Structure 1
Amino acid sequence: MKLSRKQVSIFPTQHGFLFLAILIAMLLGAINYNNNAGFILVFLLGGMALISIFHSFKNLVGIEIGYRSPLPVFAGQTATFPIHIKAPATGGRSITLSLMPQDTLFVSIQREKTLQMGILARERGILHPRSLTLKSVYPFGLFTFCTLLPVTATCLVYPQPIPGPHGTAKSRLLPDGEEETSRQGADDFQGLKQYQPGHSINRISWKALSRGRGLFIKDFTAEDSPCVMLDFDVIPGRDMEFKLSRLCDMILTAEGRQMEYGLRLPGFVKNPARGKSHQHHCLKALALFNLQDRLKGDPQ
């Protein structure tokens, strides 16, 4: 997104109003006393103010703004939005950026720079900043040049984990209710099997790949490998947000213990697995669960 002259608005600052008031008073005094030196000083200062407007426009116009996707965070943490700013000329640009509704930064850009601007994620869901404001009072601070830009980047906000007892930690029930007799684990080597997207790269058989046999993974079994199914309806209580926060903590705990776990929400089922990708999909389901209904009930 490149700034054009039409996107920039101008209005005097407090110092600008004071400067204009003094300039008018000096002009009236020069007219009253017919003082040529007063006229020269008024026109000199007024000309400098007019020239500063040109330089102020040049300070903002032509700047390119690019947004990058932020990493997901948990509710209560600060979401960091990377914003890439590129100036068209080699000269420095002094501007102030405000990512609504919170973060404000003053930056000087020589050529290009990537800024990390943070917003507190107060609740789960999708965090979408309202706007990005660019301001400049360069060079004399007499006029404020401002532009309001839409923000295209969004941040996924997981529920805030709430620790508690994990009563289902030893459950080995699968989604269909059948008990498992053998699970993939890291105890007994069973052989090689064809690699499928989603398998851990740590289990890839590099020897088989170097021999030109193709991409295979090492298959292990463990009879007592734990597997859990985390169920929304099993968690006691009626507070939906509390249940989601408890499930969030259970997912993090299960992943930290290298357990296979699944997730069951009303209208959503994720089969047991493990790994960072599986954890992200489960946490994303919690973040977006019943989100539309909650937004409709929000008076704001």
Structure 2
Amino acid sequence: MAAAAAPKAGWRGRLERLARPRRPEPLPATLDRRRVYILPTAFGWFFLLLLLAMAVGALNYNNNPALLLALLLAGAANTSLFAAHLQLSGLQVVAIDAEPVAAGKPLQLDVHVRAQPGRTRRGLRVECLDASAVLSLDKDAGTTTLEIPTRRRGRLHPGRLRISTTRPLGLARAWAWAWPERPLLVYPAPEAGGPPLPEGSGDGAQARLHPAGDDVHHLRAWRRGDSRRAIAWKPSARHGTLLVREYEQPLGADLVLDWHDVRALAWEDRIRRLARWVDEAEREGRRWRLQLPGQPALGPARGAEHRHACLRALALMPEAGGGDVGPR
């Protein structure tokens, strides 16, 4: 299931399809002079009309100082076009990365840019999927973060990255495109409510440290905020320092989160419930195994990497009707 930006319609969309690059490309991507485009801004068009009026008036009245002023302003404007072009020429989009989030939450997309040393580049604007941010390179590298809205689970193709500037005088806008081929990942949105975790099964009984458990696991040094009831006074007196009892609480056997156990729900609701159970199992420190149709079981395990693997598998499940599995 992939989420992609809708193609722009009209003349602007047709022009963008003709611009370089014309297809996704691996990073790093260098913005050379053939990929930099430049056009006057609204203020630039006004300035151009003003210069034409000054030049026509100076020629009509044979006013050499006014003609000289018009030519000097035209030279400054022409120089600003080269300066705007040089702000982008030679830039290199090194990489993009983002931590996956649940659908509906904004995705923080980090764009890493590098430039040739020796030239300060400020006031650059990076745009992607209707999100924009300002980027300044004081040395030879910089990073900016775009907040991209997400709506659907699955792969999110960022599409074209546009880097633009109107510096130094605001008379023209120079821009260039980068088109990363690497998609981003959006987790499924977990179910807002619902039944608790299913009972564990198998022989993998687990235990975790808990301040109000049943059995003492070990003694540790006292930390600020520990309850006085947890202090082991006799061992503390023997060692000359405060020691605190650390308990353990049994958690039961490994969890089995099976796709077929939630077959009474609609397709997307199954995915959302399993995503919530994965988050709850991770918060409680449980070990779990995720079983999805047509895929090898994930786990049993626990931890951030196992959670990511399970949520990624759920995010990349096909859409409803793409191979549903009936009762076993």
TM-score normalised according to structure 1 size: 0.76
Match of 2:284 in 1: 257
Matched, 1:150 2:179: yes
Match of 2:111 in 1: 83
Match of 2:271 in 1: 244
Give the alignment partner of residue 125 of structure 1, picking from 154, 178, 200. Answer: 154
- Secondary structure of the 2:30 match is coil
Partners of 2:276 and 2:314 in 1: how far apart? 11
Size of the aligned set, in residue pairs, is 254
Match of 1:162 in 2: 191
Matched, 1:3 2:27: no
Partners of 1:237 and 1:99 in 2: how far apart? 43
Match of 2:168 in 1: 139
Give the superposition deviation at 1:98. 3.1
Give the alignment partner of residue 44 of structure 1, picking from 72, 80, 86. Answer: 72
**Contact 2:208–2:285, Cα closer than 8 Å, also in 1:** no
Give the letter for the 2:279 counterpart: L
Match of 1:70 in 2: 98
Give the letter for the 1:77 counterpart: K
Give the superposition deviation at 1:230. 1.4
Give the letter for the 1:14 counterpart: A
Give the alignment partner of residue 16 of structure 1, picking from 31, 37, 44. Answer: 44
Pick closer, same or farther for the CA change 1:8–1:292 going to 2, 3 Å. Answer: farther
Pick closer, same or farther for the CA change 1:186–1:100 going to 2, 3 Å. Answer: closer
Matched, 1:92 2:123: no
Partners of 2:321 and 2:143 in 1: how far apart? 36
Give the alignment partner of residue 61 of structure 1, picking from 89, 95, 98. Answer: 89
Pick closer, same or farther for the CA change 1:129–1:171 going to 2, 3 Å. Answer: same
Structure 2: gaps spanning 5 or more residues: 1-28, 210-214, 216-248, 323-328
Match of 1:26 in 2: 54
- The RMSD of aligned alpha carbons is 2.5
Partners of 2:94 and 2:203 in 1: how far apart? 52
Partners of 1:224 and 1:46 in 2: how far apart? 77
Give the alignment partner of residue 136 of structure 2, picking from 102, 108, 118. Answer: 108
Give the alignment partner of residue 228 of structure 1, picking from 243, 255, 258. Answer: 255
Pick closer, same or farther for the CA change 1:82–1:153 going to 2, 3 Å. Answer: farther
**Contact 2:203–2:253, Cα closer than 8 Å, also in 1:** no
Pick closer, same or farther for the CA change 1:102–1:186 going to 2, 3 Å. Answer: same
Give the superposition deviation at 1:160. 0.7
Partners of 1:186 and 1:253 in 2: how far apart? 15
Match of 2:225 in 1: none
Give the letter for the 2:148 counterpart: I
Give the letter for the 1:96 counterpart: L
Identity fraction in percent: 31
Higher relative contact order (CA 8 A, sep 6+): 2
Structure 1: gaps spanning 5 or more residues: 173-179, 189-221, 295-300
**Contact 1:67–1:153, Cα closer than 8 Å, also in 2:** no
Give the letter for the 1:2 counterpart: T
